Amino acid sequence: MNYVIEVEHLTKKYKSFKAIDDLSFKVKKGEILGLLGPNGSGKSTTINCLLALLNFKQGHIKIFGKEMKQDAYDIKQDIGVVFQDVAVFDELTVYENIDYFGGLYIKDKNLRKTYINEALDLVSLKDFAKFYPKQLSGGLIRRLNIACGIVHKPKLIFLDEPTVAVDPQSRNNILNGIRKLRDDGATIIYTTHYMEEAEMICDNIVILDKGNIIAEGSSDELKKLAKIEEKVIVEIMNFDDKYLKMIGKLKNVVDVTYASSILTVKYNKGQNNLVTFIEYLKENKIEYFKIYSERPTLNDVFLEITGKELRD
Amino acid sequence: MIVFKTYLKIINKRKWPIILYTVLLIVFGSITISTSDDNINFVASKPDVLIVNNDDSALTRSLVNYLEENTNIIDTVKLDNVDDALFYREVNYVIYIPSDFETAFMNDDNPSITVKGSGDYYASFGEIILNRYLTVANTYLRLGYDKEDIISNTESVLSNKVDVSLINETDTTTLAKVTYYYNFTNYSILAGLIYAISIVMFSFNKKMICYRTEISSLNKTKYNSYLLLSNGAFALLLWFFYVLLSFIMLGSVMFSISGLLYMINSFFFVFFALTLALLLGKLKLDKNAVGGIINVIALGSSFLCGAFVPAAYLPDMVLKIAHVLPSYYFINNNELIKDIVTFDFGSLLPFVINILIMIGFSVIVILLTNGIGKKNVNTNE
């Protein structure tokens, strides 16, 4: 198997605190790996170790089959990073910023020019090439941040929360760009707080908590880990709490909650749960505005495994 | 190359403050040059002396003759009005020669000549002339000469002329202007250079920019060298520009040894300013605070060390405080250069010591900068 990243027994300590504890995983060539976990789970520490920005005393990291070190410039040549915090020069235009960061990898001026134009196209910033970062909206700056990280056409790209605080248009643009990068052959490590994004674009997902991998696999594989199979969601005004206990005792129901006019009923298995529940509501003359059923999301899996929301 | 190019681009975006400080230097230099008089002429002058000679003798006649040659003899003042004449400066010095002065002198009775003066330097000058004659005559008297020989020898000695030629043709007036100019560069260099470099380094040292650079394939040592070279090149360019400006504004004096010393002195000061700028660039300061800090450093040291007001006019306490600032040694050297007449080891030693002190300050700042750099690395670990 052709692995781009191989991490074995990686442990990173800050004094006595273990930020990463015996972490091992592999990333295949051309895949998008989602690195998920709540704040403080060790995502950033893992990425910083992978990039040799942090020293560690235990474990091994191989990238493109070679040991990753601070002076492994041949490996770094094929790595691109898009940090969560925007890393651009305020004094340079969009074009000049991309040119500078591209110039750290590519000496050939003409080749760089071609790559800059391709990067501008990828993030749809061509019309803003002469703008300064201060003249750009939050979404456009994030796109510039991405362009600066991938202009040299790296084979391995780290994207750390690239869509935080961006408008939907920019988000779609960014996600499309990431897919295109993958289609062009790049391997991508993607960290995000948005589960739906991870579901949409990640081939594989690693869920970290307290420096450990607590689950990994594709989106579908992870969903199978969840105890629930179906959720029925009902919009009800003035719901009487006495029904909560009764609903909880219905067949296959594992959990029922009511908050903000939303009643959520979780089933561990079974078919026709929605139809059965509609009948139950009719029988008890409970009026509702809307009712629908959905499969458990990655967020439910995450909540079940870690006991907290991803954004906690 | 891309690092150097980007460095220049950022400098270019931040050029206005540097231009402002340079314009200040030009304006201040021009004012200094235009307000100083290029031609200071000295005219020989003599004190106005009234002689009341009550001893008609050969010795007193010889004395009066000598006084006539070296002073303006006033004979229009009435003796009753001597005090008024002295008050109104109609006469500067009045000499009363008593009767039998010659006899008493030859008998070594120490006869006294009564004098009155106006209290100014003309009166002092008159006294010097009178004393000169009497001292020489007295010397011959002690050696046992007779009256005729005393008179003839005294006249002969006092008539000797000594040719004086200047061994140094230093134009002190122009050097004073050069000193003013280079003293003011203390402000321009500190404000301009530190502002530009620390602001640029502030951009390059931003945490995320550093991360992005660190994960790039550009060798870290090479990258740091490029940055250091860029800073050095900019500092050198600015120094060269200020020196060139001094050549344009002050002319040929800059081609002298003194001119060379001014340049050397400013070079080492620019080097110190460069190290200080790099230190400020490393500190995690708010970008807006940088301007304020620079003004405090540049204006503060300029006032304390005598860049704007000559150090001679500053209180001792202020000068004592100024000793802890490199600007003091830079400005002190400028003042030294102005006063150096002959260029030998003795006269240049204080200059060299001041240069060494400035280098010492630079080394301390470099060590501090490295310390901060290491601390930042440790924070990442």
pLDDT for B26-63, tens place per residue?
Answer: 787 777 667 655 555 667 788 999 999 888 899 999 99
Q: Which fold has domain A230-295?
A: Alpha-Beta Plaits (3.30.70)
**Calpha distance B73→B94 (Å, rounded):** 10
pLDDT at A308: 64
Q: Are A81 and B218 in contact (CB < 8 Å)? A: no
Q: Which of B208, B216, B378 to mutate to test the interface with A (most CBs of A within 10 A)?
A: B216
Q: Which fold has domain A3-220?
A: Rossmann fold (3.40.50)
Percent of chain A at pLDDT above 90? 40
- The token pair that represents A128 in the structure block: 């803003």
Cβ neighbour number for residue B85 with a 10 Å cutoff: 22
Tens-place pLDDT, residues A120-151: 998 889 999 999 999 998 888 989 999 999 99
Map out the domains of chain B as residue ranges. Answer: 2-38+170-380, 48-159
Contact A291, A274 (CB under 8 A): yes
All residues of chain B having their beta carbon less than 8 Å from the beta carbon of residue A77 are 217
Closest-CA distance of chain B to residue A107, Å: 8
pLDDT at A294: 87
Beta strands per DSSP E along chain B: 48-53, 72-73, 93-97, 114-117
Helix (H) or strand (E) holding B200: helix B194-204
> Token pair 């394939």 is at which residue?
B217
- When pLDDT is averaged across residues B179-197 and rounded to a whole number, the result is 86
Residue of chain A nearest B204, judged by CA positions: A89
Q: Is A81 on the interface with B (CB under 8 A)?
A: yes
Residues paired with B117 in a beta bridge: B93
All residues of chain B having their beta carbon less than 8 Å from the beta carbon of residue A55 are 381
Looking at residue A294, its amino acid is E
- The token pair that represents B342 in the structure block: 């002959």
> Token pair 């550093």 is at which residue?
B210
- The token pair that represents A122 in the structure block: 């990828």
Burial of residue B76 (number of CB atoms within 10 Å: 0-12, 13-18, 19+): exposed
Distances (CA, A) of A144 to A3, A87, A134, A151, A171: 29, 9, 12, 10, 13
Whether the complex's predicted ipTM is more than 0.85 is answered with no
Residue of chain A nearest B6, judged by CA positions: A100
Residue of chain B nearest A88, judged by CA positions: B209
Residue of chain A nearest B380, judged by CA positions: A54
Q: Which of B14, B211, B212 to mutate to test the interface with A (most CBs of A within 10 A)?
A: B212
Half-sphere exposure in the Cβ direction for A207 (13 Å, CA): 27
pLDDT at A1: 54
All residues of chain B having their beta carbon less than 8 Å from the beta carbon of residue A149 are 212
What's the length of chain A?
312
**Calpha distance B34→B30 (Å, rounded):** 6
CATH 3.40.50.300 range(s) for chain A read: 3-220
**Calpha distance B26→B3 (Å, rounded):** 32
Q: Which of B1, B3, B6, B222 to mutate to test the interface with A (most CBs of A within 10 A)?
A: B6
**Calpha distance B200→B6 (Å, rounded):** 10
Contact B322, B328 (CB under 8 A): yes
CATH 3.30.70.100 range(s) for chain A read: 230-295
pLDDT at B270: 94
- When pLDDT is averaged across residues B293-299 and rounded to a whole number, the result is 85
**Calpha distance B111→B138 (Å, rounded):** 11
Mean pLDDT estimate for chain A: 88
Reported pTM: 0.71
- When pLDDT is averaged across residues B370-380 and rounded to a whole number, the result is 65
Mean pLDDT estimate for chain B: 85
All residues of chain A having their beta carbon less than 8 Å from the beta carbon of residue B218 are 73, 104-105
> Token pair 């891309």 is at which residue?
B2
Tens-place pLDDT, residues A206-222: 988 888 888 889 888 88
Q: What is the CA radius of gyration of chain A?
A: 23
Q: Of the given ranges (A4-18, A56-70, A226-240, B279-293), which has the lowest mean pLDDT? A: B279-293
* pLDDT band at residue B381 using 50, 70 and 90 as cut-offs: very low
Architecture of domain B48-159: 3-Layer(aba) Sandwich (3.40)
- Report A:32-51 residues touching B (Cβ under 8 A): 51
